[in-house]
Amino acid sequence: MEAKKAYQNFVESLVPLYELREASNIATIVFEDVLALSTLQLNRMLAKAEQEQLRQIQTRLLTGEPIQYILGEADFYGLKLKVNPSVLIPRQETEELVVWIIKTIGKNHSSWSLLDIGTGSACIPIAVQRKLPNLNVTACDVSQAALEVAAINIAHHQMSIDLKQVDILQPTAWSTLGTYHFIVSNPPYISPSEKAFMPKQVLDFEPALALFVAQDSPFVVL
């Protein structure tokens, strides 16, 4: 099969589950990352092995599994980060938080300390320290599985970030963590009553621990 036809078929198969633009974006990611083909290089024939790769990915996508988990990586703030179902997929909105953090700290305070609570894949501290390399950064999470993913990303991007496994809601947490100039977090904020309105791709595959608060009020006083 010609790559162009395969691309069109791939997009069309996803449209019942995704908007056309998102389906096209997913297809582009798959063809570029898996087949090393840009949308300008779709005039060649695909080998049977390549067609089988597409079929397997397509099958998983149609169950609602996010493409980031299928490929094992996500793009964030110009970085490639390892992700799996132990961590939330980094959102574009979180990039806006990173921009705000960098701007707020600024070069004048670039040697100060920062704590990221609920770090997940460590997307926030890695992106911030990449721009402010002298910043003393600590990242914590309650999930050991998430911290293992964070450690891989930190090592891959050659960052100097201290990881700690801490349940921030426990009274002894702060004695373990110490004090910091800046504390940031992108915590769970979705109430259980909102689950019925969540898309299948999120509800069935992303970690509930990183998404949902225990009660209908998302506010926690530490």
pLDDT of the residue at 188? 78
Residue 177 resides in a domain: yes
In the block, tokens 């960052």 appear at 159
DSSP 8-state assignment for residue 2: B
Rounded Cα distance, 23 and 29, in Å: 10
pLDDT of the residue at 200? 67
pLDDT of the residue at 206? 74
* Residues 58 and 95 grouped into a single domain: no
Residue 157 resides in a domain: yes
Rounded Cα distance, 45 and 156, in Å: 35
Q: How many domains does the chain have?
A: 2
Assign 30 a pLDDT band (cuts: 50, 70, 90): very high
Residue 50 resides in a domain: yes
Give ∠ CA 116-118-121 in degrees, rounded to 5: 90
pLDDT of the residue at 15? 95
What are the backbone dihedrals phi and psi of residue 138, each rounded to the nearest 5 degrees, phi first? -120, 140
Residue 83 resides in a domain: no
* Residues 15 and 124 grouped into a single domain: no
Q: Is the pLDDT of residue 181 over 80?
A: yes
Cβ atoms 97, 82 nearer than 8 A: no
* Residues 104 and 180 grouped into a single domain: yes
Asked whether the whole model's pTM tops 0.75, one would answer yes
Q: Which amino acid is at 148?
A: E
Residue range of the domain that includes 34:
3-62
pLDDT (mean) for 189-213: 71
pLDDT mean across residues, the chain: 90
* Residues 107 and 195 grouped into a single domain: yes
Q: Is the pLDDT of residue 108 over 70?
A: yes
* Residues 53 and 139 grouped into a single domain: no
